[in-house]
Amino acid sequence: MLSAEIEKPSVRISQWRERLQKELKSPLSLADLDWHVSEFFSLDALYDSAFPEGEGRYLTEFHETWKQQRPDWKPVFKVSTHSLKHATASDIATAETYGFQSWVSTDGTSLSGHLLPVEYRLGNRNPSDASTGICSDPVMDSLRLGEWTPSFLQLKKSAHNGPFHIHASDVHNAGGSAVQELAFCLLVAEQYRQSVAAKDFAANCKNWVLHLAASPSYWLEIGKIRAMRLLWMNFCSLNKAGKQAGQIEVETSGVYWSHTDPDGNLLRHTSEVMSALIAGADSVLVHPHTLDPSMGLEACRQAVNIGLLATKESHLDDVLDPATGSYMVEKLTHELTNAAWKLFTDWNEKSFTSWIESGEFQSMVVERKTALQSRFASGNLLMVGVNKHQSPLARKSPSAPVAAEQQTSFPALRPFSLDV
């Protein structure tokens, strides 16, 4: 008969470390086994359950709150349609046979005729919340343009009281780090919070949509997305709205999208989708692996199938946050949470508009982008099929369009890809 109690291991982690060190051949040490998942974070070769004082609360408060607010969690899948030039009635009929339940634009309106669809969406939930909040992101729209948009300038005079969408994924796609992406998401949230009444924030913050991007760095992205959830709970709680899980949408990375070997994008997108699902994303946006116009709906169908395979065959949506209890994932989550919260509080001491207008934030993102490009050029950052293991049979995709440089009021935050 199995015992209901689990015995604690009698061997201490220090003994494991001592044993491993003995078995390693000189001059290797345990530190040589660490895996550097980014320039800021590394994963140790060996973990135990010990957390710094106070950090163990993540396993209890966070997960219990999340489960209570997501008893029937099922992620919604969305597919962008950058490769489609026109959508016809025939296209719509074909898409329905592929499993698309609805076609909507970014403002939530249905599409028909020859309109260019911005996104396909696969799922049962109303994806846009267009009737209840702002689906665009005035701050990130302004950063992309390099000037304050009318919607941002009128933000505090607007009748909108939320929920808002915050596209922190733009920070990632411009070359920003995971910590910068998380911290800036909170900073933008603070600008929107200040534009609405306290009672409206408390009522709607659980439905604010936080957009992140997932790179192929599997464990880092799981930790990042989980950290975003914890950060949002803390942010809401400090602003007297209680611990709210929020809505997290994750999109596949543009930085690691390749036109040299587009088939490799399917594999990267699969890894990125898995990270998003394991981390408990509420919705996942998958970009087509190719911009070849001849692929059209076929590229979108393959993007949809990544989600279908992950859920219908691999059942990655059957368990909410299966990484809970993994010492490695929990520690990485906490490291990201603490680093992002510190950066947010540092940034929040500045005048937001003056800080953006000075280009200080954009310079930090560009600095990290330059470091990525340097690592990629030297071969320290690998993209299979691009700077390693290239295939002579690869069918190249057209490159993503690059906006022409224009005179702007302040430095714009522009997307980039390592494979240029």
What digits encode the pLDDT tens for the residues 236-280? 999 998 888 889 999 999 999 998 899 999 999 999 999 999 999
pLDDT of residue 52: 57
Q: Sign (positive/negative) of CA torsion 299, 301, 307, 311?
A: negative
**Where exactly are the structural domains of the chain?**
59-344
Backbone phi and psi for residue 172, each to the nearest 5 degrees, phi listed first: -60, -50
Q: How far is CA 305 from CA 6, 100, 310, 316, in A?
A: 40, 11, 8, 14
Residue 361 near residue 184, CB atoms below 8 Å: yes
**Lowest mean per-residue pLDDT among 36-40, 50-54, 326-330:** 50-54
Evaluate whether 78 touches 283 at the Cβ level (below 8 Å).
yes
Q: Is pLDDT above 80 for 109? A: no
Structure confidence at residue 403 as a pLDDT band (50, 70, 90):
low
The answer to whether 192 and 166 have CB atoms below 8 angstroms apart is: yes
Report yes or no: 320 and 66 within 8 Å, Cβ to Cβ: yes
Sort 143 into a burial class: Cβ within 10 Å, 0-12 / 13-18 / 19+: buried
**Angle separating helix axes 178-195 and 327-348, nearest 10 degrees:** 50
Q: Where are the alpha helices (DSSP H) in 3-137?
A: 13-23, 61-69, 89-98
Rounded CA-CA distance 173/177 in Å is: 10
**pLDDT (0 to 100) of residue 5:** 47
Q: How far apart are CA 217 and CA 226, in angstroms?
A: 14
Q: How confident is the model at residue 396 (pLDDT cuts 50, 70, 90)?
A: confident
The DSSP output letter for 285 is E
Read off the pTM: 0.85
* Sequence-distant (≥ 6) Cβ neighbours of residue 246 within 8 angstroms: 205, 206, 207, 208, 209, 210, 229, 232, 233, 236
Cα gap 180→121, rounded to integer Å:
28
**Mean pLDDT, the chain, as a whole number?**
79
Res 290: pLDDT: 86
Q: Categorize the per-residue pLDDT at 97 as very low, low, confident or very high, splitting at 50, 70 and 90.
A: low
Model confidence at 175, pLDDT cuts 50, 70, 90, reads very high
The answer to whether 324 touches 61, Cβ cutoff 8 Å, is: no
Compare 324 and 269 and report the one with higher pLDDT.
269
* Residues 374, 369: Cα–Cα separation, whole Å: 9
Which pLDDT does position 308 carry in this prediction?
84
pLDDT category at 111 given cuts 50, 70, 90 is: very low
Q: Rounded distance, CA 400 to CA 3, Å?
A: 58
Question: Is-contact 45 30, C-beta < 8 A?
Answer: yes
DSSP letter for 313, please. I
With respect to CATH, is domain 59-344 assigned 3.20.20.240?
A: yes
CB atoms under 10 Å from CB of 100, counted, come to 21
Residues whose CB falls within 8 Å of the CB of residue 313, separated by 6 or more in sequence, listed in order: none
Nearest-angstrom CA–CA distance, 33 and 30: 5
Where does the pLDDT of residue 343 fall: very low under 50, low under 70, confident under 90, or very high at 90 and above?
very high
Three-state SS at 193 = helix
Residue 82 and residue 292 in contact, taking contact as beta carbons nearer than 8 Å: no
Give 400's pLDDT tier (boundaries 50, 70, 90).
Answer: low
Residue with tokens 């010492």: 327
Among the listed residues 271, 231, 230, the one whose alpha carbon sits nearest the alpha carbon of residue 250: 271
83: pLDDT confidence band, cut at 50, 70 and 90? very low
Predicted local confidence at residue 170, as pLDDT: 93
What H or E segment, with its residue span, contains residue 375?
helix 360-378
Return the higher-pLDDT residue of 5 and 335: 335
Structure-model confidence comparison of residues 56 and 287, the more confident one: 287
Specify which residues 78 forms β-bridges with.
121, 285
pLDDT above 70: percentage of residues in the chain: 79
Reduced to 3 states, what is the DSSP secondary structure of residue 292? coil
Q: What is the rounded CA–CA span in Å between residue 110 and residue 402?
A: 28
- In this model, does residue 232 exceed pLDDT 50? yes
Q: What is the pLDDT of residue 268?
A: 95
Average pLDDT over residues 78-88: 56
H and E: helices and strands count for the chain: 14, 9
